[in-house]
Structure 1
Amino acid sequence: MTGSASHLHPLTGRTLLLVSTNYAPEHTGIGPYATQLAEHWAARGADTHVLAGMPHYPSWRLDPAYAGRWRATESRAGVTVHRRRHTVPPRQTALRRALFEASLLAHQLLAPPRMPRPHAVVAQMPSLAGAVVAARIAARYRVPFVPVVQDLMGAAAAQSGISGGDRAAAVAARAERYALSRAALVGIIHDSFRPRVQALGVAPGRIRLVPNWSHVSRPSASRTKTRARLGWAPDRQVVLHCGNMGLKQGLEVLVDAARLAPGVDFVLMGDGNQRTALQERARSLPNLRFLPPAESADFPDVLAAADVLAVTQRASVLDMSVPSKLTSYFAAGRPVIASVAAEGGTADEVRRSGAGVLVPPEDPAALLAALKELAADPAEADRLGARGPAYVDEHLSAAAGLGRLDDLLAEALGTDGSTAHEGAVRE
Structure 2
Amino acid sequence: MRLLVHDFGCYAFIIPLARWFAAQGHEVLHLSARDLIGPKGAPSRTVDDPAGLTFDTVALGRPFRRYSLPRRLWDEARYGRGLAAAITAFQPDLILSANTPPLAQALAAWHSRRLKIPFVPWVQDIFSLGAAPMVGTLPAPLAGVALAALRWLEFGPMRRAAGVITIAPTFVDNLAAAGVRHPQTLVQENWAVPLPTPPAPTAWAEGQGLGTARILLAAGTLGQKHDPELLAHLATGLADDPRVRLVVVSEGPGRDRLEALKAAGALPHLVLRDYQPAAQVPAMLASAEIGIVQLCASANGMSIPSKVYSYAAAGLPILAAIPSDNHAAHLIRTHGLGLVVGPDDVAGFLAAARRLLDDPALRLACRAAGLSFTAEHGNIDRIGQRMMAFLNQVRHRDGSTLGSARGRL
Normalising by structure 2, what TM-score? 0.83
Distance 1:388 1:184, change over 3 A: same
Deviations 1:177-230 (A, max 9, x none): 211011122111111101122233333532111111204724522324554444
- Where 1:412 maps in the other structure, the secondary structure is helix
Distance 1:42 1:59, change over 3 A: closer
Identity %: 26
Deviations 1:48-100 (A, max 9, x none): 2355433322189xxxxxxxxxxxxxx99831535242764556133233222
Task: Return the letter of the residue paired with 1:339.
Answer: A
Which whole-Å CA distance do the structure 1 matches of 2:300 and 2:6 have between them? 27
Distance 1:51 1:377, change over 3 A: closer
Which whole-Å CA distance do the structure 1 matches of 2:144 and 2:194 have between them? 36
Structure 2 counterpart of 1:195, from 165, 173, 181: 173
Structure 2 counterpart of 1:399, from 358, 381, 384: 381
Deviations 1:122-160 (A, max 9, x none): 211342134223322332232322111111111111246
Structure 1 counterpart of 2:74, from 94, 99, 110: 99
Task: Return the letter of the residue paired with 2:305.
Answer: P
Structure 2 counterpart of 1:45, from 25, 38, 42: 25
Q: Which residues in structure 2 correspond to 1:401-420 (within 5 Å)?
A: 401-414=383-396, 419=397
Normalising by structure 1, what TM-score? 0.80
What's the counterpart of residue 328 of structure 2?
Answer: 346
Instruction: Say whether the 8 Å CA contact 1:93–1:162 is kept in structure 2.
Output: no
Instruction: Say whether the 8 Å CA contact 1:250–1:314 is kept in structure 2.
Output: yes
Structure 2 unmatched ranges of 5 or more: 41-49, 401-409
Which whole-Å CA distance do the structure 2 matches of 1:158 and 1:76 have between them? 44
Instruction: Say whether the 8 Å CA contact 1:239–1:309 is kept in structure 2.
Output: yes
Which whole-Å CA distance do the structure 2 matches of 1:80 and 1:237 have between them? 38
Task: Return the letter of the residue paired with 1:330.
Answer: A
Which whole-Å CA distance do the structure 2 matches of 1:106 and 1:115 have between them? 12
Query: How many residues matched?
Result: 382
1:177 maps to 2:155: yes
What's the counterpart of residue 27 of structure 1?
Answer: none
Structure 1 counterpart of 2:230, from 225, 229, 253: 253
Task: Return the letter of the residue paired with 1:265.
Answer: R
Structure 1 unmatched ranges of 5 or more: 1-13, 24-30, 61-74, 423-427
- Where 2:89 maps in the other structure, the secondary structure is coil
1:325 maps to 2:307: yes
What's the counterpart of residue 101 of structure 2?
Answer: 127
Shift of 1:270: 2.6
Instruction: Say whether the 8 Å CA contact 1:187–1:408 is kept in structure 2.
Output: no
Distance 1:89 1:16, change over 3 A: closer
Instruction: Say whether the 8 Å CA contact 1:144–1:421 is kept in structure 2.
Output: no
Task: Return the letter of the residue paired with 2:27.
Answer: D
Shift of 1:115: 3.1
> RMSD of the TM alignment (CA)?
2.9
Task: Return the letter of the residue paired with 2:169.
Answer: D
What's the counterpart of residue 293 of structure 1?
Answer: 275
1:147 maps to 2:121: yes
Deviations 1:276-313 (A, max 9, x none): 22211122311100122233233122212212110112
What's the counterpart of residue 70 of structure 1?
Answer: none
Distance 1:43 1:141, change over 3 A: same
Instruction: Say whether the 8 Å CA contact 1:92–1:162 is kept in structure 2.
Output: no
Task: Return the letter of the residue paired with 2:6.
Answer: V
Shift of 1:45: 2.4
Shift of 1:106: 4.0
1:85 maps to 2:60: yes
Instruction: Say whether the 8 Å CA contact 1:359–1:367 is kept in structure 2.
Output: yes
Task: Return the letter of the residue paired with 1:385.
Answer: R
Which whole-Å CA distance do the structure 1 matches of 2:308 and 2:95 have between them? 28
Which whole-Å CA distance do the structure 1 matches of 2:166 and 2:61 have between them? 27
Task: Return the letter of the residue paired with 2:216.
Answer: V
